[in-house]
Structure 1
Amino acid sequence: MTRAIRSVLEVAMGYDAIILDQWGVLHDGSEPYPGAVTALEALRSAGAQLAVLSNSGKRASENETRIAAMGFPPGLFNVVMTSGEALWLDVRSGRVPERRYFAVERVQGDADTWAGGLDVTICDVPEAAEAILIMGLPESAAAEDWQDVLDHAMTANLTVYCSNPDRASPRSGDCNTLAPGALAHMHKENGGNVVFYGKPHLHVFEAMERSLGGPRRLMVGDSLEHDIAGAHGAGWDSVFVQGGLLRQNFTAGDAADTLARLCAVEGVRAPTYRMELLA
């Protein structure tokens, strides 16, 4: 049964590391959630090892810079790991063999930055590519905007690598925006070949484990589908944050009943703990 807590500090000393999602837990894409920085500083003062595990198509270093720019103190986190970093490492090692990619990116140039240090080419057109990389979507994008790219991938039997499996991302103003995973899942459901990098897929959790000491890990996330399911698959305990991606489901009624219903719908085991916002 999921235990309701007010603060991660209540249970933190039972774990070797506290691993946190980024969007929906630390911040809304524009600024930290109220109390998030204070909560993290209290955890560090208590001796907790802190890490960020994010479904972001960008490299870990870019996410470290973004987090610091939002007001999170430098050095607060022991490790930052992203799905984009995990894919980059696999391309560098040769586990991912393709060397010519057409990229779907949030801002033009994101893919070139991601590819720094790799012997790869980011192609201007999908017809010149050996694979498709979905790493981000422009603000206000619709899945249909990329149908021609996906049609070519299907016709040419190209693998689509999605380095952010999230279907939606929280933004300021109490709204969500379409995320890369929505596009990749649509392609997969239509019969396309898709390889996902990021939560809930195990290799990202394994990459984090290699970067952290100690076997007892606690995942703090707002996505049942990605954070909570992925944590269970990796053998980690979890904290579900109600005030993130699924916040509109918790505006009325009993929170425990709502969580049980959502877990049943998603086919996800109940989280170990639940809380309103990071505190």
Structure 2
Amino acid sequence: MQIISALSEVSDRYRAMFVDLWGCVHDGVRPLPGAVEALQAYRKTGGVVILLTNSPRPRAGVAAQIEDIGVPDDAYDNIATSGDSARVAMFNGAVGTKVWHLGPAHDIGFFEPPAILENPTPIERVPLDQAEGIVCTGPFDPMADPSVMRPEFLAAKTRGLKLLCANPDLVVDRGERREYCAGSLAKLYSEMGGESLYFGKPHPPIYDLARRRLAEIKDVSDAGILAIGDGPATDAAGAMGEDLDLLFISGGLGAVETGTKPGGEPDPDKLATYLAETGVAPTYVIGTLR
């Protein structure tokens, strides 16, 4: 493992990058200092940037969202989202044709059939007591403990409903506020004895999608791809499972535990403890993407 202070120290070793968004490029409110510039500089050298996000939104929705946040389109080449991977599964009938949508109203775009499917299964959103399955794009209230869903989950588990999780992230930091994601709900459902289906990081479907999006631009072997992320259970586990080199961002979700100050590098001892506890074995570590 090598601690670096700038992406440019290692970027010339890779022809493409799979880059996490939240906690690496932006914090849900604004771009993180230096991240956009680092990606723009890499692309100017001929490198390809695929944004690899566990957002439940389709690719176009994420593009619009990050434009509003302030991430320009010249910082990346394409986007692969957990939402797109999960939508394909849903429209292939993974959880039935009548589904209960557990998630905020702004995720309604999830229910638009993806263009890549010629004959998508018709999907109808119905109340829980009429549903054949659950589609979870996130909590109704991102600040509420997932346990508030126990009554609904007990009823669903008793009926044997599967839960399709459109975003495996457990939490994200929106500015200074930590919020729960769909992954926390899916985790609870599984712990209660229900069956949860995952399609985003660290699971293979989203990496298959990312490779397809990359192949549309350039033919790159896995040895030429660098994965960048801050989530031990998602970004890191996914990169390690796919045998991709990993640049771990210590100043994201693990900033406190690794002693990473804004714009600085992690405390080596705290970092070593954190990596051992989380099972992360990165190729490189950097405080923040820059």
Unaligned runs of 5+ in 1: none
Deviations 1:221-261 (A, max 9, x none): 00111101100111110111111111111227973332332
> Counterpart of 1:65 in 2: which secondary structure?
helix
Give % identity.
29
Matches within 5 A, 1:1-279: 2-92=1-91, 94=92, 96=94, 98-105=96-103, 107-110=104-107, 112-117=108-113, 119-123=122-126, 125-137=127-139, 138-173=141-176, 175-212=177-214, 213-215=219-221, 216-251=224-259, 255-268=267-280, 270-279=281-290
CA distance in 2: counterparts of 1:139 and 1:166, whole angstroms: 12
Q: Deviations over 1:46-105 (max 9, x none)?
A: 22101111111111110011111122222432110111100112233x262511111111
In the alignment, is the contact (CA less than 8 A) between 1:3 and 1:273 conserved in 2? yes
Within 2, Cα distance between the matches of 1:225 and 1:263?
11
Distance 2:278 2:192 in 1: 21
Q: Distance in 1 between matches of 2:66 and 2:145?
A: 27
CA distance in structure 2 between the aligned counterparts of 1:179 and 1:62, rounded to whole angstroms: 17
For structure 2, the 5+ residue unaligned runs are: 114-119
Find the aligned partners of 2:206 and 2:267 in 1 and give their Cα distance.
Answer: 30
Normalised TM-score (structure 2): 0.88
Counterpart CA distance in 2 for 1:259 and 1:121 is 47
Contact between 1:176 and 1:245, CA under 8 Å: does it hold in 2?
no
* In 2: Cα distance, 1:45 partner to 1:246 partner: 30
Moved over 3 A (4+): none
TM-score normalised to the size of structure 1? 0.92
SS at match of 2:22: coil
- Structure 1 vs Structure 2 CA RMSD: 1.8
Q: How many residues align?
A: 272
- Quote the Cα distance in structure 1 between the aligned partners of 2:106 and 2:24: 27
Equivalent position SS for 1:206: helix
Counterpart CA distance in 2 for 1:109 and 1:245 is 25
CA shift, 1:179, in A, is: 1.6
Secondary structure of the equivalent of 1:152?
helix
1:27-47 per-residue CA deviation (whole Å, 9 max, x = no partner) reads 111111111221121111122
What is the rounded CA distance, in whole Å, between the counterparts of 1:236 and 1:96 in structure 2?
A: 28
